[in-house]
Amino acid sequence: MKKYAFYLILLLLAVAFPFYIDGYLLHVFLTIFIFMTMALSWDMMLRTGQLSFANAGFFGMGGYVSMVTVSSLEIDPLLSLIFAVVFAAAVAFILGLPVLKLRGIYFAIVTLALAHVFEVIAMNLEITGGSTGMVLPEAIFGGDMQLLYWLVLGMALLTIGISEFFARSRMHYAMHSIRNDELTAQASGINVSRTLIIVFVTSSALQGLAGAIYVQQYAFVLPESTFSLDYLLLPIAMALVGGTLSTAGPVVGAIFLGLISEYLRLIMPYGHLLIYGLVIAVIILFMPGGIYKPVRNIILNRILNLGGAS
């Protein structure tokens, strides 16, 4: 019970954040929740053993679909998020059918190439504004940071919910069996291709949503920045630092690295990325399982006095 009370307090704190912190810190957490969604959705795919590099591609695609639908259909930005999610899911389904037949390094490299293809398409279409991108007259919710924060928090909670559903249902056994040994999985009656496509479509849809919300925050897209490698590499670093193959790991990793990077930026305007990279490298070298478990044990044992954590 104590554990659930702890989570409930965290949740209430997160929901009430806009009432007691200033705009700057709110913006920091907003970004953290967007990256948390990216990290967790990437981890879902990893649980099936597939190393996907398509996240930045679906992130950018979601952003572009959202911008294009708002500007050409003149719909509310909030409604455009649905288009972004559906579009990303549909593309993931269609591309997933052939691409998910690939394994290991071949799957990884093809997903990386796909992400680049999306960028090239965005850069060359007229409707997406070509290489100069697009600008909308107004950000989502008319620029209201509080509403935007709750929207982003909702997305992060949805992602956590889906991740926990995957972790507690039959999907858990299917996903991890496929990663462990695909032949055994098949021989045990697991439909490998269906499992992979469900996870790929789900994670791509979440990445599309994250991109759409991110872009609507600034009401602006540009091919090289919307499809930036940051949206690929940072979420992966967050998942690795927090601990992969779980919900808690990427969540903790996103908060930890998000706060560290912001703090470093404040105390050293130049060269902060150097330290940031060093932190990531050191953690991955010396705590290959991520920081979540050690941190959890400290919280459970020392602070909550629950004891008996593994």
Partner 1 sequence: MDSVLKAEKITKEFGGLTAVDNITFSADKGEILGIIGPNGAGKTTVINVISGILPLTGGNITLKERQISDMPPHDRSRLGISRTFQTVRPLEKFTAMENIMVGALFGRELTKNKARERAESICDFLNLDRTDAHVDNLTVLELKKLELGRAMASEPEILFLDEVMAGLNSSETNEMIELIRKIKDRGVAVCVVEHVMKVVSELTDRVIVLDRGEIIARGRYEEVSKKEEVIAAYLGEEEENAED
Nearer to partner 1, 142 or 189 (CB): 189
Site for partner 1, rule CB under 8 A: 169-170, 173-174, 176-177, 179-181, 183-192
| Shortest distance (Å) from residue 38 CB to partner 1 | 24
Min. distance of Cβ 248 from partner 1 in angstroms? 17
Residue 304: C-alpha distances to residues 220, 295, 307, 308 (Å): 45, 13, 8, 11
Nearest residue (CB) to partner 1, 146 versus 169: 169
| Tokens 């496509």 sit on residue | 197
Tell me the closest approach of the beta carbon of residue 176 to partner 1, in angstroms.
5
Q: What is the distance between the alpha carbons of residues 196 and 178, in angstroms, rounded to a whole number?
A: 9
The distance of closest approach from Cβ of residue 284 to partner 1 in the complex, given in angstroms and rounded to an integer, is 21
Our CB check for partner 1 shows the closer of 189 and 269 to be 189
CA distance 48 to 202: 13
236, 39 contact by CB (below 8 A): yes
User: What gap in Å lies between CA 210 and CA 207, rounded to an integer?
Assistant: 5
146's CB contacts (< 8 A; 6+ apart) are 18, 26
Q: Which two tokens stand for residue 8?
A: 């409930």
Cβ proximity to partner 1, 185 vs 236, nearer residue? 185
Query: Please, which residue, 174 or 280, has the CB nearer to partner 1?
Result: 174
The residue assigned the tokens 């991955």 is 284
What minimum distance in Å lies between the beta carbon of 246 and partner 1? 12
Tell me the closest approach of the beta carbon of residue 292 to partner 1, in angstroms: 17
CB 200 within 8 A of CB 96: yes
Could you tell me if 96 and 39 are in contact, meaning their C-beta atoms sit under 8 angstroms apart? Answer: no
Q: Which is nearer to partner 1, 132 or 188 (CB)?
A: 188
Q: Which residues share a beta bridge with 19?
A: none
